[in-house]
Amino acid sequence: MSRTLAGLSALAALLAAAPAAATCRVEVRPVAFGTIDLGRKSYGKGEILVRCERPTRFEVAILGGAERELVAPSGARLRYRLFADPGHRRPWGDGGRSGATVTAESDGKRPVRLTVYGVIPRQSGRAEGHYVDQLAVVLRY
């Protein structure tokens, strides 16, 4: 079973639904970097919460892959990457070249909390501003 969800601020919206053996809900909390100093690396965290009504093994893919861009209203862009581990060794993507998916299991009682780690590399010549990105995830179970 595959469900596609888009991270809209703090809540995911179901884009495609089909009957499933179990019902699972997803909530996406975007990666927050705070104030960024472009003269050095910046680190942030987000979270994907998965709640299933019964024990279920699932896989989470981040559409667009681990290599991403934050965009300002002016159109300015900042490159960044997403990871599944705090050591930034396992890129989290859509299962393609830019990063693997993450597999987890729900006990059917408590939500599964998956931390998304973000890194903005040092970048010069970028405009100040408020940068955002919208994460869309696919939940397969």
- What residues does each domain of the chain span? 2-140
Confidence of residue 5 (pLDDT cuts 50, 70, 90): very low
- Mean per-residue pLDDT for 29-53? 92
pLDDT of residue 129: 78
Scanning the structure block, which residue is given the tokens 């179901």? Answer: 14
Give this prediction's pTM. 0.81
pLDDT band at 76 (very low <50, low <70, confident <90, very high): confident
Which of 13-22, 85-94, 96-105, 110-119 has the least mean pLDDT?
13-22
The yes-or-no verdict on residue 13 having pLDDT over 70 is: no
Dihedral sign for Cα atoms in the order 28, 45, 99, 9: positive
Alpha-carbon distance of 4 to 122, in angstroms, equals: 32
Pairing of strands 136-140, 102-106: unpaired
At a CB cut-off of 8 Å and minimum separation 6, what does 89 contact? 83
Contact between residue 100 and residue 93 where contact means Cβ atoms under 8 Å apart:
yes
Looking at residue 85, what is its pLDDT? 98
At 98, is the pLDDT very low, low, confident or very high (cuts 50, 70, 90)? confident
* Topology, domain 2-140: Immunoglobulin-like (2.60.40)
Which has the closest alpha carbon to 51: 111, 113, 137?
111
Band of the pLDDT at 11, cuts 50, 70, 90?
very low
